[in-house]
Structure 1
Amino acid sequence: MSAASKDRWSADVTRNSDALDLKPKIFAADDPAEIARSLKRSAERSRRRKSSPFRSAMSMLTFYLNRAGSSLSRSRRNKLEKAKEKLREEFGRPPG
């Protein structure tokens, strides 16, 4: 599989997740709290997810971070890592 098709594959998963209907370009948002709230809202509204809303939301965020890999700038990666913390707060989970 070429690098270009891998990029398309992960973008397709992010856009067309079978578990969550994500707000377009949510991972490009500047506010980690906005990212967390949007993921929480999507996870709680989904009727197709196979896991708890928290696990589904965290899984999608982690998937995005892992697939983006080294192409993320340090500031973007930091914002997404902060969104993980905010997501835990949104769901009343202890810091991880």
Structure 2
Amino acid sequence: MKIVAVTACPTGIAHTYMAAEALERAANTLGIKLKVETQGAMGLENTLSARDIAQADWVLIASDRPVEQQERFIGCRLKQVNLEPVLLNALAVLKALQHDATA
């Protein structure tokens, strides 16, 4: 399974990057291929390419604010969550996507 994700918080500092790290750890545990774009105070980092998005089984947006360039994800399997569930239990968030992919 391959997931691309975007993380963003209102101030674009700590929670943006904490969520990205939590998702990366959880993906490693589950054997999921993951690429995370952060939309933080430094702007867009690790930007998702059109190819990344097209090859993904899921697009996960973990954000407490609107993300930039969301139109890139039209037509994709998209799941939007607030940052809190990712920060509290990223493993459960990714497991839910795995389950939804097989349902």
**TM-score by structure 2 length?**
0.28
Higher relative contact order (CA 8 A, sep 6+): 2
Greater helix proportion: 1
Greater strand proportion: 2
